[in-house]
Structure 1
Amino acid sequence: MRLLAQIFLLLTFVASAQGQLQYQTADSIRRALSEIGSVNRTAKVELLIRLSSETFYSDTSLAFSYANDALALAQASRNKELMAKAAKNLGKLFYRKSDFTSALKYFNLTLQYNTVAGNVPEIAASYNNIGVVFNRLGYYDLALKNHLQQQRINEETGNLQGLAISNRNIGNIYINLKENDKALLYYQASLEISEQLDDSASMATALINLGVVNMELERYEQARRYLNQALLIKIKTNDKVNITALYANLGVVAASVGEPRQAISYFSKSLDLARQINHRHYTAVALKNLGETFLKLGERLTSFGYLQEALTVSEEIEARDLTASIHATLSQWHEEQNDFAAALYNFRIATAIRDSLLNTEKSRQMKNMQLVYEVEKRETEILGQKVAIERLKTGQVYLLLVIIMVLTLVFVFYYRYRTKRRLSRQLEVKVAEALHKEKEQQQIIAHQSSLTSLGELASAIAHEIKQPLQNISLANEDLQIENAAGNVNKQSIADITTDIAEDIRRIKFIISEVSNFSRGQLEDITEWFDVNTRIRNAFSLARIKFSNTHIRVDFDLDENIPKILGNPYKFEQVIVIFYNNAKDAIEEKEQTLNVSFDKKMVVKSYYQDSNVIIEVADNGIGIPKENHTRIFMPFFTTKPLGKGSGLGLSISLGIAKEMGGLIEIESDEMEGTLMRLKIPKKNLKPLR
């Protein structure tokens, strides 16, 4: 006599990806169904599925009616995912009814729908459910094949919840193969994943499975610990169906370790809950377990009452294997009462039912062999569909990629075109701003250079003016002396006033030149001017700096060259800078050699190749070749500290460019330097 443990949770189905729905009574679901119109098919199908599950144990026929209506409505919608959901529900109902052939049929239909829909998580769930049925049918190799396929998909998609389920169901296969140690490893892996997910429902299922496998291994204390942990979780969630089974399993554990009264307490709790939820199969099992436990305790009358009630319920629900087991227990009960006729009667009934079940099992196995063939054929068809779908998808993907590439190229070219236009406009603005800024900076630098030049000329100008002022002062003293002596000579007065007038003219000229030079730097003047005149004016400004230097200055000016269009005062500034640099170079050479030599500067102007050319050459210290370009950079100077600002040639180059010209340099160290200013034809006034 063996007590029955409710190990139903060994076979775990995968719930819908939408999650578990809240518990509702059949009446409340019917009300919700009546309130939904015919338009919302999806909601109606889901309510019919829930209603079929809710009414299964109270009215199985009605439950299947709801389930078939759900599938028909889903098929009418042509929504493959909805059709798969309805087909899976029918498969689960047939599984509960122990009609595994029909269950397998609908689970394969579910797989087909999900494959067409491309619903990868539900494809994995379909493999799981097919594996569960094969496990129940005893085709463990096919069960393992489907669960491994499920596990592969879950690993590829990172579905930890699916991995927890596949580990549990692979453990189920090994427990049926009596390889309990392997089963234990898979159940533990399932529990670890469930704990990682913090999924209490999944943890409870894994704990129940661990409890059952430890019962099989006769490790009852470990089994009791796992089952009690699961019970705590199920009580929190008020899962009465699972609580009923857990009380039954805990009763079996208590009975197995010699605690019959504790076992009766658990079986009684299981019976009360089974009746409360109208779960008639669990009711029959609880009644049978109570009858057998009381029989072991010698309480025969109590035992007989439970066994008779268990027999009635099992016959009503047509649980033939359970009915055979109860008749076998009743045979033992009558034998202990020495009622051998009744014992034989019950024994024969138990044997007849078992023989019938055996024949039915053989017939079922024959049908299952055909079913397995059909399933494998269907799998081949599904695989072919997958390949066809993949090929179609691949072709569509390639076409889409080509379209995307073409559109991308068009977009890229258009974007680059727009970007180039935008950048070009931005660049034009930036260049204009930079040129304007550069022009302003050049003007500032030029002004600074002009001020520097004026500062350098200040002392020389003061000296230049001082001489005529002294002459005027002396002439005035002569007049005063002659006037005081009364010896006034008209011719003498005329000579003196002539000298004074000449000195005044000289002072006015100097002041005028300096004034024009400084004003011309600030004003934006453009006019035709004579080059040679400006060369001479420039030397007039710089001449004082050459006094007492013993530098011979030679002019070789072509009087027939055309006039130049530009700012004459800025032109003078360039020439003054050339003069000053030449003087400084000659003096630096004299200081470096510490000997006297023939110091000279030659200034030339001539017309050649449609260019007016001005040259200022000296025999000074010269410029190293590596500095021939650097000398035109602002603030670069080869002169000693405090001798030059480094702005002169930079300003000169800017002025030359304003006039469309350029500056060239020829120089050798200790030999001298030639600075050449070229003004092109477009800035020259034609000769007449």
Structure 2
Amino acid sequence: MKYFKQLLLLLFLHSYFSHSQSLNEKIIQIKNNLSNPNTTDSLKIKLYSDLCWYYGSLNKDSASYYGNLALSLSQKTNNLKGQAQAYNDLGILQYKTSNFNKAVSYYKKSLVIRNKIRDTLGIASLYNKLGIAYQRIFKMDSALQYNTKALEIYEYKNIIKYSAIVRNNIANVYSGLKLHKKALKEHLIIADIRKKINDDFGLVYSYTNIGNSYLFLKDTIKSINFYNLGISIAKKNNYKKELGTLYNNLGTIHKDLGQYKKAEILLTKALNIRENINSKYGIASVKLNLGELKLRLGKLSEARKKLSNGVKLFKEINANDKILNGYNFLLQYHAHKKHTDSVLIYQKLVNTMQDSILNSRITKEIAEVQEKYNTAKKEKEIALQKEEILENELKIKNRNLYATLLGGALLIVGILSIGYYHRSSFKRKQLEKEIELKDALSKIKTQNRLQEQRLRISRDLHDNIGSQLTFIISSIDNLKYISKDLNDVLKSKLTNISDFTSDTIHQLRDTIWAMNKNEISIDDFSTRLLSFIEKAKEAVPSITFKYKNNIPSHINFTSIEGMNLFRVTQEAINNAVKYSEGDLIELNATQKDNKLQLTIQDNGKGFDINNVTLGSGLSNMEKRMSSINGSVFITSENGKGTTITLQINNTTNDV
């Protein structure tokens, strides 16, 4: 076994250094050409650009150095083509290092120049890159606009392979907007195109995306079928990166279906491949998946190791969203182990990371508004330049048409008829795309307005009401401290007011937590509930609490559903603690048919429902569940405890 591991390590190192050696040989050859005294400036610019590209995979600082050399020499010699290429290369370098806003800035500088020199295919390439970059910074309206522009050029030039690539990017934007049926329709069209032109590499991506779309639409059977089709092609062609992605996705499905043995095999394959190609992000992602799987299997020590390694790798690449997921899983681990101090520590880490992500998003939104304002004038100039180019192209077409007329009247009629047909068809397709684009933009604007309103209200709650409540607690504590001669009754009253205010702050934080999310996952809900249970354990150590979640992790609630369900569960637990006189409270979350069900059961004294008047607490619980189209049921019997059952419809991923 030890020998086998050593052999695998040697094979990996050989593969890695062989690739590096190949690049280094190319770099040495280019530098030799640069040292030739007869090398012209235009050739030097090209060689500098080549060095920028090759160093991009080895050393980012060296890549930036040669990219700037290419730009400087191009500007000095007024080589517009070289300037455009240099800005393009520097943009790619910024994109690789996740500086997406800087990448957009470089791409736009390149675009201005390529419009001047009428480099149509270069323009299309930049439109595509801009669309991808805007997608990464969640500006879906801009992403759709630039991808659509790129698609128009590639379809006009009849470049089928690149048209399919851009269509794929547009479909991914639809997925980002949760328009999964639209995304699926596009991906199926793209797959047919790639099959016809024998584009195996592109077909693997199409099958992966189709599988993802079916998964979002809750059709796991079709999702698994398309993932397996992708795996078959990726194996045949040795597409390692893509194979790792497919194994990871397929393993996640089997994990959520409760098929843990199959899931572990697939996820382990994904991990081996990603370690072989040294994909840090991919390795970290699979380790979190495996860690969650080990949690479900009750293999807690293995779970902690995988989760800790995954979080460590994500910290190295500053993937805050993934770090937050890892913290949530580690919180669950410590809850299982009943490490109260660690649960509180990780709950604090989760809250801090959520605040950091929220603040980062707010800062980005402010910067984007400022950027739009600053670039409006430049975009207008670009539009005018584009109009001039189109006018010149029209003049050229007219001259060609007049020359063609000399060839004969019949030929002219035929050409005009064909041209009219194609133009009408093109306009019709363009109109359909514009209508789809307007629909998508309208949805984006509505989502942006809702998110801004949520952020404004949550900030007001946190900054105003939260600080005022904290001041009240501090004032009461100071009053108790300086007024040592107060009688016990008054001190007790002050303590009750302080405790009530503290509880109000916790409820306020829960409300802000729900408001800052469009959706609340079952994992988020469970984490919040476990945190509440830990506090209940500290308050009443004589009662044992048990919580079991059998709902798949892809299930989500709306923020309103999640908040109301959480509040009703809190009320049910508090009632059991106060009145049941039992020593065990069990919570069980399950999915049955199209219903999600949460039961809260105690082993207390119970009561006769027919002979007891139920108070306002139950009325509030029923109102909350009714407001989210849910139900609450109570069963109880003297001496046999009480069971409260909460039911809500499962509407996850409805489109």
Taking structure 2 as the reference length, the TM-score comes to 0.53
Q: What one-letter code is carried by the residue in structure 2 that aligns with 1:324?
A: L
The question of 1:291 aligning with 2:288 is answered no
Q: Is the partner of 1:318 in helix, strand or coil?
A: coil
Do the aligned partners of residues 60 and 301 (structure 1) sit closer, same or farther apart at CA in structure 2, a change above 3 Å counting? farther
Q: Which residue is 2:486 aligned to?
A: none
Q: Which residue is 1:565 aligned to?
A: none
Q: Is the partner of 2:270 in helix, strand or coil?
A: helix
Equivalent pair of 2:48/2:70 in contact (CA under 8 Å): yes
Q: Which residue is 1:36 aligned to?
A: 33
Q: Which residue is 2:135 aligned to?
A: 135
Equivalent pair of 1:127/1:147 in contact (CA under 8 Å): yes
The question of 1:359 aligning with 2:359 is answered yes
Structure 2 gaps, min length 5 = 1-18, 405-655
| Cα offset, 1:74, TM superposition | 5.2
| Cα offset, 1:376, TM superposition | 4.5
| Cα offset, 1:141, TM superposition | 2.4
Q: Which residue is 1:54 aligned to?
A: 57
Equivalent pair of 2:49/2:89 in contact (CA under 8 Å): no
Q: What one-letter code is carried by the residue in structure 2 that aligns with 1:183?
A: A
Q: What one-letter code is carried by the residue in structure 2 that aligns with 1:34?
A: K
Equivalent pair of 1:171/1:184 in contact (CA under 8 Å): yes
| Cα offset, 1:356, TM superposition | 0.9
Q: Which residue is 2:586 aligned to?
A: none
Do the aligned partners of residues 280 and 131 (structure 1) sit closer, same or farther apart at CA in structure 2, a change above 3 Å counting? same
Q: Which residue is 1:179 aligned to?
A: 179
| Cα offset, 1:187, TM superposition | 0.8
Q: Which residue is 2:144 aligned to?
A: 144
Q: Which residue is 1:512 aligned to?
A: none
Q: Which residue is 1:414 aligned to?
A: none
Do the aligned partners of residues 77 and 332 (structure 1) sit closer, same or farther apart at CA in structure 2, a change above 3 Å counting? farther
Equivalent pair of 1:155/1:163 in contact (CA under 8 Å): yes
Do the aligned partners of residues 218 and 327 (structure 1) sit closer, same or farther apart at CA in structure 2, a change above 3 Å counting? same
| Cα offset, 1:181, TM superposition | 0.5
Q: What one-letter code is carried by the residue in structure 1 that aligns with 2:50?
A: L
Counting only pairs closer than 5 Å after superposition, residues 286-435 of structure 1 correspond to structure 2 as: 286-389=286-389
Q: Which residue is 1:599 aligned to?
A: none
The question of 1:267 aligning with 2:267 is answered yes
Equivalent pair of 1:220/1:257 in contact (CA under 8 Å): no
Equivalent pair of 1:167/1:189 in contact (CA under 8 Å): no
CA distance in 1, matches of 2:81, 2:20: 23
CA distance in 2, matches of 1:251, 1:75: 52
CA distance in 2, matches of 1:272, 1:178: 32
Q: Which residue is 2:485 aligned to?
A: none
| Cα offset, 1:189, TM superposition | 1.4
Do the aligned partners of residues 282 and 381 (structure 1) sit closer, same or farther apart at CA in structure 2, a change above 3 Å counting? same
CA distance in 2, matches of 1:182, 1:69: 45
Per-residue CA shift, 1:34-56, capped at 9, x if unaligned? 3322523355245324323422x
Do the aligned partners of residues 393 and 171 (structure 1) sit closer, same or farther apart at CA in structure 2, a change above 3 Å counting? closer
Do the aligned partners of residues 50 and 350 (structure 1) sit closer, same or farther apart at CA in structure 2, a change above 3 Å counting? same
The question of 1:104 aligning with 2:104 is answered yes
Q: Is the partner of 1:128 in helix, strand or coil?
A: helix
Q: Which residue is 2:276 aligned to?
A: 276
Q: Which residue is 2:202 aligned to?
A: 202
Q: Which residue is 2:189 aligned to?
A: 189
Q: Which residue is 2:168 aligned to?
A: 168
Counting only pairs closer than 5 Å after superposition, residues 462-611 of structure 1 correspond to structure 2 as: none
| Cα offset, 1:72, TM superposition | 4.4
Do the aligned partners of residues 232 and 379 (structure 1) sit closer, same or farther apart at CA in structure 2, a change above 3 Å counting? farther
Q: What one-letter code is carried by the residue in structure 1 that aligns with 2:25?
A: S
Q: Which residue is 1:26 aligned to?
A: 23
Equivalent pair of 1:29/1:47 in contact (CA under 8 Å): no
Q: What one-letter code is carried by the residue in structure 2 that aligns with 1:47?
A: D
Q: Which residue is 2:547 aligned to?
A: none
Q: What one-letter code is carried by the residue in structure 2 that aligns with 1:386?
A: K
Q: What one-letter code is carried by the residue in structure 2 that aligns with 1:169?
A: N
CA distance in 1, matches of 2:30, 2:351: 48
Q: What one-letter code is carried by the residue in structure 1 that aligns with 2:380?
A: T
CA distance in 2, matches of 1:80, 1:236: 43
Do the aligned partners of residues 53 and 250 (structure 1) sit closer, same or farther apart at CA in structure 2, a change above 3 Å counting? farther
Do the aligned partners of residues 71 and 293 (structure 1) sit closer, same or farther apart at CA in structure 2, a change above 3 Å counting? farther
CA distance in 2, matches of 1:354, 1:195: 43
Q: Is the partner of 2:318 in helix, strand or coil?
A: coil
Do the aligned partners of residues 259 and 64 (structure 1) sit closer, same or farther apart at CA in structure 2, a change above 3 Å counting? farther
Structure 1 gaps, min length 5 = 1-21, 406-688
CA distance in 1, matches of 2:296, 2:94: 36
Q: What one-letter code is carried by the residue in structure 2 that aligns with 1:370?
A: Q
Equivalent pair of 2:241/2:277 in contact (CA under 8 Å): yes
| Cα offset, 1:245, TM superposition | 2.2
Do the aligned partners of residues 376 and 80 (structure 1) sit closer, same or farther apart at CA in structure 2, a change above 3 Å counting? same
| Cα offset, 1:25, TM superposition | 4.1
Q: What is the aligned-residue identity percentage?
A: 25
CA distance in 1, matches of 2:84, 2:137: 23
Equivalent pair of 1:48/1:70 in contact (CA under 8 Å): no
| Cα offset, 1:399, TM superposition | 10
Between 76-85 and 123-132, the greater mean CA deviation after superposition: 76-85
CA distance in 2, matches of 1:47, 1:370: 35
Do the aligned partners of residues 74 and 290 (structure 1) sit closer, same or farther apart at CA in structure 2, a change above 3 Å counting? farther
Between 297-306 and 263-272, the greater mean CA deviation after superposition: 263-272
Aligned length: 381
Do the aligned partners of residues 77 and 275 (structure 1) sit closer, same or farther apart at CA in structure 2, a change above 3 Å counting? farther
Q: Is the partner of 2:34 in helix, strand or coil?
A: coil
Per-residue CA shift, 1:464-520, capped at 9, x if unaligned? xxxxxxxxxxxxxxxxxxxxxxxxxxxxxxxxxxxxxxxxxxxxxxxxxxxxxxxxx
CA distance in 1, matches of 2:394, 2:192: 39
Equivalent pair of 2:49/2:67 in contact (CA under 8 Å): no
Q: Is the partner of 2:98 in helix, strand or coil?
A: coil
Equivalent pair of 2:118/2:389 in contact (CA under 8 Å): no
CA distance in 2, matches of 1:212, 1:86: 36
Q: Which residue is 1:122 aligned to?
A: 122
Equivalent pair of 1:324/1:351 in contact (CA under 8 Å): no
| Cα offset, 1:260, TM superposition | 2.0
Equivalent pair of 2:45/2:74 in contact (CA under 8 Å): yes
Equivalent pair of 1:101/1:368 in contact (CA under 8 Å): no
CA distance in 2, matches of 1:89, 1:49: 7
Q: Is the partner of 2:258 in helix, strand or coil?
A: coil
CA distance in 2, matches of 1:268, 1:76: 54
CA distance in 1, matches of 2:71, 2:353: 36
